[in-house]
Amino acid sequence: MVDLNGTVQRLTDTTPRLGGGPLLRDGTKILYGRIDWITSSGKVIGGNHRLILMDPDGSDEKQLIPDDDHTGTLEYFDW
């Protein structure tokens, strides 16, 4: 979150993101996408793509769509 003076306040401790989310019209929630990387032998081999809804202060994070067989997707190929 950035105020009008340019002061940045981090809302989550999660670094991988698909993108900053919009604030809902009523200002009660922020929606954003997150990738939780899947690694094997120190290499990234995929990512779990998740849609997260949270309060504007970063609290009360909720994953909107439960994980299933399609949550983890291949991101990189090691030829």
List, for residues 33-55, the tens digit of each pLDDT value: 888 888 889 988 888 888 888 88
pLDDT, residue 20, reads 61
Q: Hey, what are 62's tokens?
A: 């909720």
C-alpha closest to that of 18 among 68, 64, 79, 77: 64
pLDDT reading at 79 higher than 50: no
The per-residue pLDDT of the chain, averaged, comes to 77
pLDDT, residue 74, reads 57
Q: Give the whole-angstrom CA distance, residue 47 versus residue 55.
A: 24
H or E element in which residue 14 lies: none
pLDDT, residue 75, reads 54
Position with higher pLDDT, 56 vs 70: 56
pTM across the whole model: 0.62
Structural domain spans, the chain? 1-79
